[in-house]
Structure 1
């Protein structure tokens, strides 16, 4: 395989460095995927602690004849400037660049332009159907550890998981903080856009508008309108999203549509690597352990793409 340096959005205000990994000896057109990050600023490898899920996907899939495009997330490179933008939404943070990345692949003469897919991880998985609808126009969608629920619901669940694991004294303190956050999050959809742009919800920089704009574009609406192949994957030991609410949530929306494939992976965490602690309070420690994406996950994605 060959790693080629590319720039996503070279003509825009926010050019982003990336790598296109091309399979060896490709003498015919190859399928390709665009990798879309989870939440928070993230580099092209989606590095967290000592794991690099996007690097693993690029190397693993290119060995199986699939080109992979990964790039630095806009908030990773331009975070300081973007924090000043009160009307920042997932459109500027994620969606626009994923569409530009797909366009870049379509212009590459080595890529089969009818076989360009999106792999969205976590928040990227939540947004993948919307990215497709807003101009990605992919051949199919792979959602890794995504959710069809609103982001604020996930945040509250994560907070409550932490709360339930604390001792009595800490619980009393945390309960107040979580209650304050909860009341902020519950009323987001009632705010006008202008109010939302001036209401901080997570720290100083994340404004309510970020969550409101996302909530105004429910994942379910895009999923129900989709008639193309979708592959929904989740690790059973994922403590960021839940098997009962998220993986099952997709099944509830999409049912047994023949175009949808589901797979749950025993003992894998949010990064699709073997679970270490399986505890949200030890998330930092979990990702400090250097590991790689489980080979079965790579096989399954590759088989699914090649079968279409």
Structure 2
């Protein structure tokens, strides 16, 4: 029984690189719209220099087809792990394809390299989800200031971890007009991680008794991390996880392995994300919310998350939300056979056309009128 060293939360750890498969949806220059390279200063205090800058691409709809604007605008926020502006992973560029589609349909789109990645400055490692969300918020205000963008019609679209972060941004910033959650989470992250790992263990043919014992051990580890337990207690919790999942019995070996693995679960990013419960900001939102997920999403299950998002919005009195369950789509919104991670790179499709059509139509509809 193989243990996962780090749970593949959202799109974390997926590697970009050379893949032989065709990518027929990727646009080829020249584009039928304006594409502008931008630099966004972040962390700017009054009278001080920015702490870092985000390098991005702003695409503006074609004036001949859509006029001079001002246009509805949306900022794309990527999932976990180091991501460039196209969210390049497994040989795919989902944000390039999505931005191209939306811009061809009259929506301005801003996408950017994560801090410390690509042409952006700053440090990626150790940055928390909330700190990444502050970058997306700054990018949204940058977009609001563009002369061809309507400042009252700018939203955030987050994928995966970005979908977790988007409600927190909108909750603290009333200028955000709408949010789109692409495989966003609707429950505490510890629940997502446990559900995700259990699904993987079941797919490997492990018995239910083993899965339940392993997830019980992980739950106690996550609870101890959330409670800010001391290092010795955390090591002991990690040892229980490894004893159950690896079947290790030698106490010396068990402790050595556990000490080595523990930082993967207790680093600054992980501690930060384990503290987040998206139901809290979702319950306070009154702006339009679109949440989409695929039925074959192995990383953020449709069963657990869309129902929780709907409940949080309903309980908060939000009447402007749309929940969409997309049959057969995986975590990257590809048509998928299994939904497993090893399938991502072998699928030629980058982003299901029906998903993009729903997103585009919804954004235009909720932003129609004065």
- TM-score w.r.t. the length of structure 2 is 0.71
State the shift of 1:306 in Å: 1.5
Q: Is the helix fraction higher in 1 or 2?
A: 1
Pick closer, same or farther for the CA change 1:224–1:168 going to 2, 3 Å: closer
Show the counterpart of 1:250.
309
Q: 1:101 aligns with which of 139, 150, 159?
A: 139
Pick closer, same or farther for the CA change 1:249–1:31 going to 2, 3 Å: same
Show the counterpart of 2:40.
8
Q: 1:68 aligns with which of 89, 96, 109?
A: 109
Pick closer, same or farther for the CA change 1:122–1:306 going to 2, 3 Å: same
Deviations 1:157-195 (A, max 9, x none): 2221222233569x98x9998776543212222117x97
Structure 2 gap segments, 5+ residues each: 1-32, 43-48, 236-258
Contact conserved, 1:53 with 1:293, CA < 8 A, in 2? Answer: yes
Show the counterpart of 2:150.
112
Show the counterpart of 1:262.
323
Show the counterpart of 2:11.
none
Show the counterpart of 1:285.
343
Deviations 1:132-169 (A, max 9, x none): 22337311111111111122221222221222233569
Contact conserved, 1:29 with 1:110, CA < 8 A, in 2? Answer: yes
CA distance in 2, matches of 1:231, 1:131: 15
Pick closer, same or farther for the CA change 1:95–1:257 going to 2, 3 Å: closer
CA distance in 2, matches of 1:207, 1:9: 30
Q: 1:42 aligns with which of 74, 80, 83?
A: 83
CA distance in 2, matches of 1:306, 1:202: 47
**2:260 is the counterpart of 1:219:** no
- 1:229-240 map, 5 Å: 229-240=288-299
- 1:165-244 map, 5 Å: 165-166=203-204, 181-191=218-228, 204=263, 207=266, 209-244=268-303
Contact conserved, 2:71 with 2:150, CA < 8 A, in 1? Answer: yes
Contact conserved, 1:95 with 1:131, CA < 8 A, in 2? Answer: yes
CA distance in 1, matches of 2:313, 2:301: 17
**2:342 is the counterpart of 1:304:** no
Secondary structure, counterpart of 2:117 in structure 1: helix
Larger mean CA deviation between 151-160 and 98-107 belongs to 151-160
Structure 1 gap segments, 5+ residues each: none
Pick closer, same or farther for the CA change 1:138–1:276 going to 2, 3 Å: same
Aligned length: 296
Show the counterpart of 2:201.
163
CA distance in 2, matches of 1:103, 1:80: 19
CA distance in 1, matches of 2:155, 2:83: 21
Contact conserved, 2:51 with 2:122, CA < 8 A, in 1? Answer: no
Moved over 4 A (4+): 77-82, 174-182, 198-203
Pick closer, same or farther for the CA change 1:109–1:14 going to 2, 3 Å: same
Secondary structure, counterpart of 1:18 in structure 2: strand
- 1:116-155 map, 5 Å: 116-135=154-173, 137-155=175-193
Larger mean CA deviation between 182-191 and 42-51 belongs to 182-191
Q: Which has the larger radius of gyration?
A: 2
Secondary structure, counterpart of 1:9 in structure 2: strand
Secondary structure, counterpart of 1:15 in structure 2: strand
Pick closer, same or farther for the CA change 1:82–1:231 going to 2, 3 Å: closer
